[in-house]
Copies of this chain bind each other. A is one copy, B any other.
Amino acid sequence: MADTSPAPLPPSAPPSASPPGPGPGAVPRPGLPEAEGWSCPAPLRDHPVVVTGHGGGGALSAELMTHLFAPAYGEALLPGLADSAVLTVPGGPRLAFSTDSYVVRPLFFPGGSIGDLAVNGTVNDLAMSGARPLALSCGFILEEGTALRTVDRVARAVGAAASAAGVTIATGDTKVVEAGHGDGVYLSTAGIGLVPEGVDIRPERAAPGDVVLVSGPVGAHGVAILSVREGLEFGAEVRSDTAPLAGLVRAMLDVTPELHALRDPTRGGLAASLNEIAAASGTGVVLAERAVPVPDAVTAACGFLGLDPLYVANEGRLVAFVPRRHAEAVLAAMRAHPQGAGAAVIGECTEEHPGMVVARTGLGGTRVVDLPIGEQLPRIC
């Protein structure tokens, strides 16, 4: 790397603070006001380098977005940079546009592969705005020396997943880096989808009175990765839940176009998705913790490892914020779809504690469900 002329470094600060101007002396030191209110590894914030948590989908990721990317992009940035953007084409339809990179390790795991994740992840980002996926791009960053049969196996998974999701692979790219500068295969996918007329699904639209639904049991993907990576076994094999969700969303939209917010709880798990929607909409979210479906093997693994299933990544689940009057019919439609067979009501939106997520625990108490800082497990997708 040839970083010879230093540029101003945006200071680390909580996402809720307004971005301070760049300038010398901006590197935060322990005890300074901008470090207040953080509940976890404060030392990370004292080192102005990339840490694994910056890729975790939690508070560190949000901080990077708010304090580094947004000011750096400046006016070139479409306001509200999100997992999926909706663009209005002059004289044409509304387009959803999304991208993700994939660095999961290992490349193949019970229930799927990096190829499945790349296709399903981008299809799902599009579906979360109600869009019908139209076309994907797929770029490979290959490490020199990787077996071509491995590349072939990944590409076959990409093709099969695209066929299963009913989406075309329209364009691609391949780059090669020297051995020791990659990890076999990294993928980047982007996708375009069409947003049907009358559909306006955004985190900002969640509102008090909405019912919160989840499409199935949570935590399987993260535990599947962990078990294969660490060679752990938790009774029954846990398989990734990776799946395309555009069909499920379509079935839900057939009930009513009035879905308010959808999210696929990947990195950061259910907790991160609920917090994002609560923060964007300013509504309070009350989670009925015991109503959240968790597979027994995931509960066992999380207990053993000290993980909270609410923070474990999923790759084939969605959480939906639906007006109360439509909730029952939407739940029924979800349960009638293969990807929503295990759907459940897990909470509701309130006027109280705006922008926060609170869990009613099994013992009748309540606790705040925070946005995670980094991630419990790196390189999960």
Is the contact region of chain A dominated by helix, strand, or loop, or is it mixed? mixed
Chain B residues with Cβ below 8 Å from A156 are 7, 72
CB distance from A163 to the nearest CB of B (A): 5
Separation of A78 and B162 alpha carbons in the complex (Å): 11
Chain B residues with Cβ below 8 Å from A98 are 137, 171
Listed by A's residue number, 12 A-B pairs whose Cβ atoms lie within 8 Å are A10-B148, A50-B148, A52-B178, A74-B160, A76-B168, A82-B171, A87-B135, A97-B137, A98-B137, A101-B140, A101-B174, A101-B188
CB distance from A3 to the nearest CB of B (A): 4
Separation of A48 and B194 alpha carbons in the complex (Å): 40
- A250 on the B face (CB < 8 A): no
Separation of A3 and B109 alpha carbons in the complex (Å): 10
0/1 interface trace, chain A 117-147, chain B, CB 8 Å (1 if under) = 0000000000000000011011111111111
CB distance from A313 to the nearest CB of B (A): 13
Separation of A143 and B99 alpha carbons in the complex (Å): 19
Chain B residues with Cβ below 8 Å from A149 are 3, 6-9, 48
- A347 on the B face (CB < 8 A): no
Q: Which residues of A approach B to under 8 Å, CB–CB? A: 1-10, 48-56, 61, 64-65, 68-69, 72-78, 81-85, 87, 89-93, 95, 97-103, 105-109, 134-135, 137-153, 155-156, 158-160, 162-163, 167-178, 180-186, 188, 190, 192, 194, 228, 378-379, 381
Copies of this chain present: 2
Q: Are A76 and B174 in contact (CB under 8 A)?
A: no
